Amino acid sequence: MSDAINSTTARASSAKRHGKPLRATFTSGIVYTLLIIGVLIVVIPLMWAMAASFTPNHKVFEYAYPFTWRALLPVDFTMEAYDNLFARGFGRAIANTFFLAIATVIIGGAVNALAGFAFGRFEFRGKNVLFLTIIMLSFLVPVDLTAIPRYILVNSFGWINTWQGLLIPGLANSLVIFLFRQFFADIPQELIDAARVDGATWLRVLISIILPISKPVLVAAGLLMFISQWNSFFWPLLVAPRQELRVVQVEISLAVGQYGTIWNELLAGSMIAAVVPILLVIPFQRYYVEAITGTGLE
Amino acid sequence: MRVRQQIIPYLFLLPALILLIVFNLLPTIATVVESTFVISLRSGERVFAGFANYNRIFNDPVFWKSLQVTVVFSLIVNPLQIALALGLSMLINQKLPGIGIFRSIYLLPVAVSLNVTAIVWRLMLDQNTGMINGILFNLGIERQPFLHSVDLALWSIIMIASWIGVPLWSLFILAGLQNIPPPVLEAAKIDGANAWQSFTRITLPLLRRVLAFVLVADTVANFLLFAPILLTTQGGPQLSTNLILYETYRRGFVYGDLGASAAMLSVMLVIVFIIVGLELYVLRGQD
């Protein structure tokens, strides 16, 4: 064991004497190998699920056991699963989820941006107390932990199986308020002063001065709200189990129990659920990564 | 003018504060209140019951078993995910050709929901026809009941959670790594530090804050793991994957025992506050 280490060290130092390239190639070879192993773990389940969703149901596992590479490609291509899924009304779930996610981005975005603006640009009595208690506390207590009492509360409003019940409890988002606050606090004061001297109201300053230069935070916050609403599951499962209001995540999860053996449809639904956030994240990955890591590093 | 300016920030805050108070803080308090009520079997009404719900859950072996499973799960999954996330973040922090493509690929699980992950892995881990057993078959290893055996089911859940968790937490650590000024590491190299020394003496200490945050956030997230349990093992076999949030859901929504469910949630709230309190304590010591 220690011989192996010694010989590695010796080889490395002799490589160093002969110049960097050999050692660098050796190291980057190891890095690429490990990276590719990781990529296989990430990509193989997605490729199989995608391929299987375009496969006749009786052939879903055909190339998985025993495993051949054909399992990762739709060799027996058919749209059967998608056709059946839409015939069953899955389009409704997709429309519901889009509606909910877009409404959350627009209404929630306004609510959180206003709060972020107040915390980022104003000095007022009770500011720190409000921030530390209400914003921090709601940030620290995970929403899934209080879902059952929230359900009881929303039930007392008569909001079970309604759009209000799905939408309103998730509008205010302390993470998004954090993002807006940080961004707005860094905007130069002169920009705001100039507009204020011209007699603009604060709401006008926010809309016509600040928002046009806030594209990065708007994209980041919008992505964060859209994707977390698109992927949310526990709350919609509790509050709106009625079929007409089901969102994609609930629909595919209930399908596990109901149509548990129609594998290709289950996977087709899952792939639709997966593709939407992936298509949003990939082009905007820098914004998305900053949005989700931003608060952790403050 | 000045008076108006005094009111304006409150007006801007009002919608968010009302929503957060009603839907986030009130339910937190309601959890604790609800845990002291029971539904009377005779009248069907909610009646105050003091610590009766707590007495019930503390005398219930299923609750203790669930807590035990959650602790064992946490002790395995959190160090595992953080170690792998640290490794992954160091790999994708290398300045190599094509590294951007790798970073994009590792972002895929972060965008995908836990439900989709659980559904796909449930089929991949299928005892009879799943791909993992297919690969084992090719290697001459016999079929494994990944989701149906007491020995393997929790490990399968750990794997499913880590498929998302490792890439997710590596993003945070990567951001931390990129905050380390390159001159610091170059200076260490000039002073003769080898890779291991500069990792343990420079990189790790500088990552302390990020790692502390990730440890707490990861612990809380895994403490509340729910969807993969519902969609794969439903707590079984023999309660070996009956994590605590799933148990509260089962009590509250499958058996309709909201009092016991609320009592368990209150216990969980206390645990989350202890975890978060420890984070704030650890982070405070470093400034």
The answer to whether the beta carbons of residues B84 and B162 sit under 8 Å apart is yes
* Token pair recorded at residue B270: 């206390």
Q: Measured between beta carbons, which residues in chain B are less than 8 angstroms from residue A43?
A: 105, 108
Surface of B (214-253) touching A: CB under 8 A: 214, 217, 220-221, 224, 226-227, 230-231, 245, 248-249, 252-253
Q: Verify whether the Cβ–Cβ distance A65 to B137 is below 8 Å.
A: yes
Q: Is B267 within the bounds of a domain? A: yes
Q: Is B257 on the interface with A (CB under 8 A)?
A: no
pLDDT tens sequence across B1-57: 344 457 889 999 999 999 999 999 898 888 888 888 887 666 677 788 788 889 989
CA distance B275 to B249: 22
Say whether pLDDT at A93 is over 50.
yes
The CATH architecture that domain A84-297 belongs to is Orthogonal Bundle (1.10)
CB-based contact, B58 to chain A, within 8 Å: no
Q: How many CA atoms lie within 13 A of B262 on its CB side?
A: 27
Q: How far is CA B218 from CA B124, B186, B276, in A?
A: 25, 32, 11
Quick one: average pLDDT of B152-175?
Answer: 94
Write the residue in A135, A152, A227 that is nearest to B34 by C-beta: A152
**Which of B21, B34, B245 lies nearest to residue A134, judging by beta carbons?**
B21
Residue B81 CA to residue B87 CA, distance in Å, equals 10
- Digit-coded pLDDT (tens) for A207-256: 888 889 998 899 999 999 999 999 999 899 999 988 899 999 999 988 88
Could you state, in order of their start, the residue ranges of all structural domains in chain A? Answer: 2-78, 84-297
B147 lies within 8 A of chain A by CB: no
On the question of pLDDT at A5 being above 70, the answer is no
d(C-alpha B231, C-alpha A256), whole Å:
7
Nearest CA in chain B to A115: B13
How many Å lie between the alpha carbon of B91 and the closest alpha carbon of chain A?
6
- Whether chain A has a CB inside 8 Å of the CB on B94: the answer is yes
Domain assignment of residue B275, yes or no: yes
Taking CB atoms and an 8 Å cut-off, how many pairs form between chains A and B?
266
How close does chain B come to A265, measured CA to CA in Å?
A: 12
Are the Cβ atoms of A35 and B91 closer than 8 angstroms?
yes
- Cβ of B220 within 8 Å of Cβ of A142? The answer is yes
Check residues A276 and A200 and name the one with the higher pLDDT.
A276
Instruction: Yes or no: say if A124 and B10 are a contact pair by the CB < 8 Å rule.
Output: yes
**In degrees, to the nearest 5, what angle opens at C-alpha A289 toward C-alphas B245 and A172?**
55
**For residue range B92-118, what is the model confidence (pLDDT) as tens digits?**
998 889 999 999 999 999 999 999 999
CB A139 within 8 A of CB A198: no
Chain B residue numbers with beta carbons less than 8 Å from the beta carbon of A122 are: 8-9, 12
Alpha helices (runs of H) in chain A, residue ranges in sequence order: 2-17, 21-53, 80-87, 90-103, 109-121, 127-130, 136-140, 147-156, 163-167, 174-185, 189-197, 202-204, 215-231, 234-239, 248-258, 263-281, 285-294
B91–chain A Cβ distance below 8 A for any pair:
yes
Q: If you measure CA to CA, which chain B residue comes closest to A152?
A: B27
Q: Which two tokens stand for residue A120?
A: 């980022």
pLDDT digits (tens, 9 = 90+) for A22-69: 777 888 889 999 999 999 999 999 999 999 999 998 888 888 888 888
Nearest to B88 among A38, A46, A114 (CB): A38
Q: Are A47 and A256 in contact (CB under 8 A)?
A: no
Structural domain range at position B204: 52-284
d(CA B206, CA B210): 9
Could you say which of B13, B96, B226 has the minimum Cβ distance to residue A234? B226
Chain B residues closer than 8 Å to A71 by CB: 131, 134
User: CA-to-CA distance for A50 and A64, rounded, in angstroms?
Assistant: 13
**Which pLDDT band holds residue A172 (cuts at 50, 70, 90)?**
very high
Report yes or no on B211 lying in a domain: yes
Task: Average the pLDDT over B64-84 and give the result.
Answer: 95
Long-range contacts of A208-212 (CB under 8 A, 24+ apart): A210/A117, A210/A184, A211/A113
The pTM of this model reads: 0.87
For B248, the token pair is 């509260």
Determine the Cα–Cα distance for residues A20 and A26; give it in Å rounded to an integer: 10
- List helix spans (H) across B21-152: 26-34, 52-58, 61-92, 99-111, 114-124, 131-138
For chain B, the 3-state helix, strand and coil shares in percent, each to the nearest 5, are 75, 0, 25
Count up the domains in chain B and report the number: 1
**Which two structure tokens, joined as six digits, stand for A116?**
């972020």
List Cα–Cα distances, B152 to B69, B126, B162, B285, in angstroms. 13, 12, 15, 40
Q: What whole-number distance in Å separates Cα of residue B283 and Cα of residue B208?
A: 9
Element (H, E) at B185: helix B182-190
Across B176-193, average pLDDT:
85
Lowest mean pLDDT among A138-142, A249-253, B208-212: A138-142
| Residue B266's CATH number | 1.10.3720.10
User: Averaged over A109-120, what is the pLDDT?
Assistant: 94
Sign of CA dihedral B50, B18, A130, A136: positive
